[in-house]
Structure 1
Amino acid sequence: MDLKENQAQANAKLPTLEKISYSFTDMAGNLLYVSMSSYILYFYTDVFDIPVSAAGMIILIACIVDAISAIFWGSIVDHTHTKWGQSRPYFLWLAIPFALSTFLAFTAPNLHGVVKLLYAGITYVLAAGVIYTGIQTTISAILPNLTLNPTERIGANSYRMVGSLIGSFITSTFTFPLVAFFGHGNDKQGFMIVIAIFGVAAICLLITAFKNMRERVPVSQKSLPFKLSLKATVGNAPWYLLVISFATFWIAQADRNSFSTYYAKYNLGNAELAAVFNGLQVLGIISSISVPFIVKITNKTATMLIGLAIGAIGQAMMAFVGGNFILVIIAWSVGVLGSALAMAMPFAMLADTVDFGEWKSGIRASGFLTAVGSAFCIQLGSGFGSFIPSKILNVAGFVANKTQTHQASSAISFCFIWLPVIIYGIVACIMIFYRKYEKMEPQIKADLMARAEKRN
């Protein structure tokens, strides 16, 4: 294949089937990962009978370990060269281990003391970290290798986010009702059965994605040493901005997801209302579908800032509607639309930082840069998103399955409503500086094409 054919293929328009299959990757990931991020703290405290402070520490330690593993996963991807590509084979290789490890994490054997804590920590690290981090890394790393066309990347990422939200919707809406249905009052049994069902579905989705996707952008057939992967970060200012902002953003996301259960159960008086909160995450599909249109009218940076502003407004509205559940739901829905819009952008923007890194250093480290920019940020942010609120609850005197004091109820409200608002403001301040680098993207793409012509 000559240079022009390679360039045409690298800039090709992606088939709809491939975009749909790409959506299956995050749909599968969220069927299981959202189960962990939304319910594992509740599972530990109210089902597995682990103290809230210990549970929060387990999640934080595990997520820090998992975040570090993302760095190694990125290097592993950059060392991978198969007939199927760099990232695509991992959808096949990790599907069954992912489902099995998540099942074990939601299994509550009759253990006590340190042994129980070790079991919880090891299974969480294995499921939410080592294996899921590998899947999340390859989901993000494959995007810059699907096409060089920025419009197609935005479109493919929008499909991905729709799949992600569908997976979240299924998990968030049906987990508690299904746990009650299959458990017949035994939540331990109910969680095991439900996670097993989600696991089988995730395996099927990941294998389908593996079958239908293709990596078109040529990459070096030589393994990329870790020190060269690090070199791709040198001077990569837009990547730094995304890593810092996305890790911070995920503190808010993890906090919102995990504390919806506590807010519903202890402040609104009905734990099953958490399924309504989490189920409404599906409204984020509207935001995901609208991303290409908003970006076309404005730009990627502005789109993320708009999402953060809407998310903050929705969160703040919940503080002023009292116990009126209808008004709480309206406010929450506004927040969902904003957070989904903001969350979609870094995944697409990471592909552009891979181009920036190659333009700056001559090294295309798609695995490493996207691993740190996505899986690392999600794991680190999620860890602190559970740890910080758990410490706040512990100081406020929270006791699981008891009527809460005014101080504990106020702490739950703060964590669920105001902590995300504060974090969204911090992220917005960071992302303002990204626009400078977004304006450089057309020239960067032209320079990379010119370099490819010279090499050939």
Structure 2
Amino acid sequence: MANANLTHSHQIPLGKQVAYSSYQLGINMLWYAFSTIAVFFYVTVLKVSATEISYGMIVYGILNAFMNVLAGHWSDRTHTRLGRRIPYILASGLPFCLTFYFLFSPPAVSNDGLLLYFFLLTFLFDFCFTLVALNAGSLFPEMYQEEKSRAFVSALQQVFAIVGLILGVALSKSLGESLGWSKVAALFAGIAFVSIYVSLYGSFERSGQTESAFHLKEAVASTFRNRRFLFFVSASFLIQFSTTLCTSVSSFYTKYVVSMTGLQSSLFLGGIFIVAIPLSFLWARLAVKMTTAKAAFLACILYIFTSMALVFDHAVWSVILTGFMMGIPVSGFLVLLNILLAEVIDHDAKLTGRRREGMYLGMNGFLVRLGLSLQYAVMAIFFSISGYNAHLSVQSVRTIWGFRLLIGGLPVVALLVSLILLLAYQRLHNLAKLSDEATTLQSGHSNPLFYLHKQ
């Protein structure tokens, strides 16, 4: 943990690359555990009103989207002896872990008191999560500016992220019910604490980042003037909408469309991430070999074909196989979107003379949160028009085909639009590369040494 002035990212030792990437384990484990069991715990165990929590979470989700932008802006405008990002990680890591623990160790109060306690702790937890995740993520484009190292570390981060996701989703509920919610929360918080603060061993900020930051209005306007960012964030929005819609609908799909046991359903979803871990490094190599946007284009095409299979699958084994196949493009999305955003930030730094990782990650987080709201809106519309009846164990043919189109049809439409956006991004990338080469050639001609080399 220090300020550094490294010219090439490949000088960073492997141990520090692993240490830095390890923060993904902690933040993903706590975040996905919170998403999986927090509402379940308060509604089914503590008997808090599900309706009141649901309405509160909708309002909170919108407010939280704006919090991402403000946190990114604050980070960009911070200047301390330890840098811009590291102080936030140092200060927020422990509260992030403690609020997770206290969420599952509530006081003995009335239901209204528990509801208030839930939203207060959720706000503190999510606020600290944003500060840790955004600032740790903001270090990545700054620390790793060389193409191969950036791709490798992005893959390394996703290995830790997927392990954290599996632990948070697959183990949190079963361990909570068997060992006790408070004990499991303490265990998870302890693991996250270690991973976040170990990551600081491999973290640094490059010296010389002394340029003055934009004011908020100017920062937002400048971000949306970056055409590369607009193409990237629109494609990313649709990609993440498609993948989260798949995971949300999968529970209904495996209950009503192709009836599966709990173990078989776990194999379907788990297979996606089991395949994704080893393939992360393959996608990192492809990003270097064929450009990141082209690799993301390939991942979209693969996802389109695999998700279409879910429209027609009728056998348990074919659904599980489709899940394993889906892990191939999902692995690509996890690695490549991270690198694409880093490229966007590099391009912005050339245009503005400022490194604004905080604003870009904050704005990206803002749009991702809105994407989740869109997903819930789509599902709400579907439930209202499809004839779905929660009291029926067998749904109508119309409802079943609705689930098939939700999980395998709508994502195809979204990803076809993503392909167009990625092509537009690649075109801008090519034009910028040609411009850089022309500038280099022109400066070479004006340099007397150019003629010596030509002779």
With the shorter chain as reference, the TM-score category is: 0.7 to 0.9
Which letter maps to 2:267?
A: V
Q: Distance in 1 between matches of 2:413 and 2:54?
A: 21
Residues 229, 344 of structure 2: 8 Å contact kept: yes
Partner in structure 1 of residue 141 of structure 2: 144
Q: Distance in 2 between matches of 1:103 and 1:383?
A: 27
Which letter maps to 2:196?
A: L
Deviates more, 1:40-49 or 1:29-38: 40-49
Q: 1:77 aligns with which of 64, 75, 80?
A: 75
TM-score, scaled to structure 2: 0.81
Q: Secondary structure at the match of 2:7?
A: helix
Q: 2:171 aligns with which of 153, 158, 174?
A: 174
Partner in structure 2 of residue 244 of structure 1: 234
The equivalences for 1:116-131 within 5 A come to 121-127=119-125, 129-131=126-128
Cα gap change, 1:320 to 1:41, in 2 (>3 Å): farther
Q: Distance in 2 between matches of 1:276 and 1:438?
A: 39
Q: Distance in 2 between matches of 1:49 and 1:425?
A: 44
Partner in structure 2 of residue 161 of structure 1: 158
Partner in structure 1 of residue 288 of structure 2: 296
Alignment of 1:426 with 2:423, yes or no, is no
Q: Distance in 1 between matches of 2:391 and 2:127?
A: 32
Partner in structure 1 of residue 278 of structure 2: 286
Cα gap change, 1:244 to 1:335, in 2 (>3 Å): same
Q: Distance in 2 between matches of 1:410 and 1:44?
A: 33
Partner in structure 1 of residue 453 of structure 2: none
Residues 24, 160 of structure 2: 8 Å contact kept: yes
Residues 42, 261 of structure 1: 8 Å contact kept: no
Cα gap change, 1:412 to 1:122, in 2 (>3 Å): farther
TM-superposition CA deviations, 1:176-225 (whole Å, max 9, x none): 4324433xxxxxx55x5434322221111001001232222631165553
Q: Distance in 2 between matches of 1:54 and 1:304?
A: 40
Cα gap change, 1:77 to 1:417, in 2 (>3 Å): same
TM-superposition CA deviations, 1:322-360 (whole Å, max 9, x none): 1x2221111011112212212322211212222222222
Partner in structure 2 of residue 336 of structure 1: 327
TM-score, scaled to structure 1: 0.81
Partner in structure 2 of residue 206 of structure 1: 196
Q: Distance in 2 between matches of 1:51 and 1:419?
A: 32
The equivalences for 1:346-361 within 5 A come to 346-361=337-352
Q: Secondary structure at the match of 1:215?
A: strand
Partner in structure 1 of residue 353 of structure 2: 362
Unmatched runs of 5 consecutive residues or more in structure 1: 183-188, 449-456
Cα gap change, 1:43 to 1:396, in 2 (>3 Å): farther
Q: Secondary structure at the match of 1:439?
A: helix
TM-superposition CA deviations, 1:23-71 (whole Å, max 9, x none): 2122211102222445567667766778887766544433222111111
Cα gap change, 1:414 to 1:194, in 2 (>3 Å): farther
Partner in structure 1 of residue 445 of structure 2: none
Cα gap change, 1:334 to 1:121, in 2 (>3 Å): farther
Residues 249, 424 of structure 1: 8 Å contact kept: yes
Unmatched runs of 5 consecutive residues or more in structure 2: 441-455
Partner in structure 1 of residue 66 of structure 2: 68
Q: Secondary structure at the match of 1:142?
A: helix
Partner in structure 2 of residue 452 of structure 1: none
Cα gap change, 1:257 to 1:203, in 2 (>3 Å): farther
Deviation at 1:392, TM superposition (A): 2.7
Q: Distance in 1 between matches of 2:256 and 2:394?
A: 7
Which letter maps to 2:231?
A: L
Partner in structure 2 of residue 97 of structure 1: 95
Q: Distance in 2 between matches of 1:109 and 1:416?
A: 40
Residues 389, 395 of structure 2: 8 Å contact kept: no
Residues 65, 125 of structure 1: 8 Å contact kept: no
Alignment of 1:28 with 2:20, yes or no, is no
Q: 1:135 aligns with which of 116, 132, 136?
A: 132
Q: Distance in 2 between matches of 1:345 and 1:40?
A: 30
Alignment of 1:388 with 2:378, yes or no, is yes
Which letter maps to 2:246?
A: R
Alignment of 1:318 with 2:316, yes or no, is no
Cα gap change, 1:299 to 1:10, in 2 (>3 Å): closer
Pairs aligned (count): 435
Cα gap change, 1:343 to 1:122, in 2 (>3 Å): same
Alignment of 1:403 with 2:393, yes or no, is yes
Deviation at 1:402, TM superposition (A): 6.7
Q: Distance in 1 between matches of 2:97 and 2:254?
A: 28
The two structures, once aligned, show a CA RMSD in angstroms of: 3.6
